[in-house]
Amino acid sequence: MQTFLGYKRPDGRVGIRNHVLILPASVCASDTARIVAGQVEGAVTFNNQNGCSQVAPDQQLTMDVMAGYAANPNVYGTVVISLGCENCQMDLVVEAIRQRTCKPMETFIIQQEGGTLKTIEKAVRAARAMQQEAGLIQREAFPLSELIVGTECGGSDPTSGLAANPLIGELSDRIVDAGGTAILSETTEFIGAEHILARRAATPQVRERILDIVHRYEKALRLVGEEVREGNPSPGNKAGGITTLEEKSLGCIHKGGHRPVMAVYDYAKQIDTRGLVIMDTPGNDPSSVAGMVAGGCQLVVFSTGRGTPTGNPIVPVIKVTGNRQTYAAMLDNMDFDASPVIYEPGCMDRLAGEFLDLAVATANGRKTKAEALGFTEMAIARVCNYV
């Protein structure tokens, strides 16, 4: 049985990184969090653009991402920093995190501590102490069934649907067959193929949920005058050989592989089902990845045609392209070359094995290109303007 080396968490989950997370509860705490993270070796943070002045459904998305990040098994413990007057109040954030995990947590409220400098001093000491304890956790061998792998595509070109997405689909199948979980994301990319995806639902309820998230997304976009089915595939898609919306979507949903869809999750909700699952995320890469990371995935595999650099603060993002020119030109950013799928008929099985080996090595601690470059860009989905 294939295994990976991970960190066991007190809540029972298994991580593949051992980060201390400095979590800003709102945009007003984000620079303080950045300075704190900069003072503690190995601490991670992100620029939280949200956390205040949001309509209720959007605030919920932000809360779910914050709670999910703190609970993500790649995180040892979390130092939460809030300003004090934001809508995402510290007690709400703490409650949301505690509903998901019992891991170490410290909190600091800037307006109560007496400004940023006093907050920074206390938070740095707390984060440093947490980092010292985190160093004691040893990696142990776990079966692949403990892995939740997120799938994503961005900067696509015709090779994405031909090579990189089918290769990711093979990886999804292997993870699922080992008892683990693969997440298919990007609801906007399902549009046109939702009836095909719905046929793969394990139950009638899952089938309804697949159709519901697609239609809900279309309705939300219609509120601002967007009709996804019009003008799609785009003239650029058509010039590249894509004929219909169904065809475009099929190329994207290939990332999920061939197994039945066991469950559908709303954005950033904690994933607690094994097998292939769907999460309702935007096509926008950093916010889609953020939703899956909040859902608890430890690893993301990301296909690209043109080549994209984006990473994530707490989860390694493996970049794979089926475009051999892109692989050569963007070698600084690309982790895996899927172009043999196109140019060497019959190589898929071998290549999928090599790709799984890379995923396991990455789980074991090998850094992705985005990690080695320190790339941590992310975004949180929202449906409405700020209030």
Q: Summarize as ranges the residues that interact with other proteins (CB under 8 A).
A: 158-159, 161-162, 166, 192-196, 211, 215, 218, 229, 238, 240-241, 243-247, 250-251, 254, 342-343, 345-346
Distance between CA atoms of 294 and 333, rounded to whole angstroms?
24
The pair of three-digit structure tokens given for residue 155, joined into one six-digit string = 């900067």
| Nearest distance in Å: CB 227, other proteins | 11
Between 114 and 219, CB nearer to other proteins? 219
Cα–chain center distance at 327:
23
First to last CA, the chain: 52
Q: Which of 81, 79, 77, 89 is nearest to 115 (CA)?
A: 81
Residue 155 near residue 307, CB atoms below 8 Å: yes
- Provide long-range contacts, Cβ within 8 A and 24+ apart, for 208-217: 209/264, 210/261, 210/264, 210/278, 213/187, 213/264, 213/266, 213/278, 213/280, 214/187, 214/190, 216/280, 217/187, 217/188, 217/191, 217/280
Which residue lies nearer to other proteins by CB, 236 or 374? 236
Nearest to other proteins of 240, 365 (CB atom): 240
Q: What minimum distance in Å lies between the beta carbon of 158 and other proteins?
A: 4
Report residue 262: phi and psi, to 5°: -90, -30
Q: Which CB, 11 or 344, lies closer to other proteins?
A: 344
The least CB distance from residue 367 to other proteins, in Å, is: 33
Min CB(156)–other proteins separation in Å: 12
Return the number of the residue (115 or 241) whose C-beta is nearest other proteins: 241
For the bound state, the minimum distance from the C-beta of residue 197 to other proteins, rounded and expressed in Å, comes to 10
Report the distance separating Cα 186 and Cα 161, nearest Å: 15
Q: Contact, 326 vs 300, CB < 8 A?
A: no
- Least distance to other proteins, CB of residue 252, Å: 10
- Is the CB of 174 or the CB of 254 nearer to other proteins? 254
Strands (E), 89-222: 105-109, 140-143, 148-153, 181-184
- Least separation in angstroms between residue 155's CB and other proteins is 16
CB of 226 to other proteins, least distance (A): 15
Q: How far is it, in rounded angstroms, from Cα 45 to Cα 220?
A: 30
Name the nearest CA neighbour of 295 among 329, 262, 270: 270
Task: Between 255 and 369, name the residue whose CB sits nearer to other proteins.
Answer: 255
Nearer to other proteins, 11 or 208 (CB): 208
Rounded Cα–Cα distance for residues 88 and 70 (Å): 15
